[in-house]
Amino acid sequence: ELRGVVALDGPSGTGKSTVARRLASAVHARYLDTGAMYRAVTLAVLRAGVDPEDATRVAEVAAAARLAVGTDPQAPTVRLDGEDVAAEIRGPEATRAVSAVSAVPAVRELLVAEQRRIIAEMLDAGHGVVVEGRDIGTVVAPDAPLKVFLTASAETRAHRRSRQDAEDGRVATMEATMADVQRRDRLDSTRAVSPLRPADDAVELDTTELDITGVLDALLAMVDRRG
Ligand code: C5P
């Protein structure tokens, strides 16, 4: 039983989403996927025909978009203006544009505020919450008692991403997936506002040699000690 916040950060392909959901289920906590929120805003930008690099117009679209995220780890949901967009936000178009959109300071301000509101609401209701993203330990929930930063080799991450894509019915070559993973990490790690990096007090967990159960066991042991 988890009462506080677990901050789970790291690049894509580390198994973050899968273990975050399993961890939340195992400790009877809620689950917040902040990447889904950036992806949903990105979808709104693309649908509005706005250039993801046009920060001013991206900020306008973000302010007007109505996002709703469900926090049940067994069935997380994402709605944009009332429509279920869970599948579409993982498609290639949104994936390609999301780093540009999430680098816009006004977008981050808006979403970080919303994330803090959701977290506070769940804590108030007596729930623990596992929050996954890139800046949870550094910006969104700097007071979280447990912060974990997941890593894995670039090859491993590209492999995991392609397996996930195949399971979800998306087709992509290994080269394209590898290139996308590396490009997105570079953009996420070098942006001016809230770059992807471990918090000073985060525990780093290299998942290269671990399967999902191995990662989950390591996280459960950490929750037992400090969660
Ligand atoms: O985790 P996921 O791959 O769905 O995240 C998609 C993108 O959203 C990331 O590549 C990053 O650009 C952005 N993101 C972010 N901050 C977060 C979560 C995601 O900038 N807390």
User: How many whole angstroms separate alpha carbon 97 and alpha carbon 92?
Assistant: 9
How many angstroms does the Cα of residue 53 sit away from the middle of ligand 1? 16
How many angstroms does the Cα of residue 134 sit away from the middle of ligand 1? 6
Beta strands 5-9 and 146-151: pairing type? parallel
How many angstroms does the Cα of residue 11 sit away from the middle of ligand 1? 8
Q: Is 153 annotated as a binding residue?
A: no
For ligand 1, what atom is nearest to the CA of residue 140? Answer: 21
For ligand 1, what atom is nearest to the CA of residue 103? Answer: 20
How many angstroms does the Cα of residue 39 sit away from the middle of ligand 1? 7
User: How many whole angstroms separate alpha carbon 15 and alpha carbon 106?
Assistant: 29
Q: Identify the bridge partners of residue 79 per DSSP, sorted by sequence position.
A: 68, 84
Q: Is 188 in the pocket of ligand 1 (CB under 6 A)?
A: yes
Residues whose CB falls within 8 Å of the CB of residue 122, separated by 6 or more in sequence, listed in order:
30, 32, 71, 128, 129
pLDDT tens-digit profile, the chain (227 residues):
788 999 999 998 888 999 999 999 999 999 999 999 999 999 999 999 999 999 999 999 999 999 999 999 999 999 999 999 999 999 999 999 999 999 999 999 999 999 999 999 999 999 999 999 999 999 999 999 999 999 999 889 988 888 888 888 888 888 888 888 888 889 989 999 989 999 999 999 999 999 999 999 999 999 998 76
104-130: string of b/e by CB count within 10 Å (b at 16+)? beebbebbbeebeebbeebeeeebbbb
User: How many whole angstroms separate alpha carbon 139 and alpha carbon 153?
Assistant: 25
Q: Is 100 in the pocket of ligand 1 (CB under 6 A)?
A: no
∠ CA 55-81-108, nearest 5°, is 35
∠ CA 99-105-110, nearest 5°, is 100
Q: How many residues does the chain have?
A: 227
User: How many whole angstroms separate alpha carbon 68 and alpha carbon 60?
Assistant: 18
Q: Is 184 in the pocket of ligand 1 (CB under 6 A)?
A: yes
ipTM of the complex model = 0.99
User: How many whole angstroms separate alpha carbon 79 and alpha carbon 86?
Assistant: 7
How many angstroms does the Cα of residue 133 sit away from the middle of ligand 1? 6
- What does pTM read for this prediction? 0.94
Q: Is 8 in the pocket of ligand 1 (CB under 6 A)?
A: no
Q: Is 95 in the pocket of ligand 1 (CB under 6 A)?
A: no
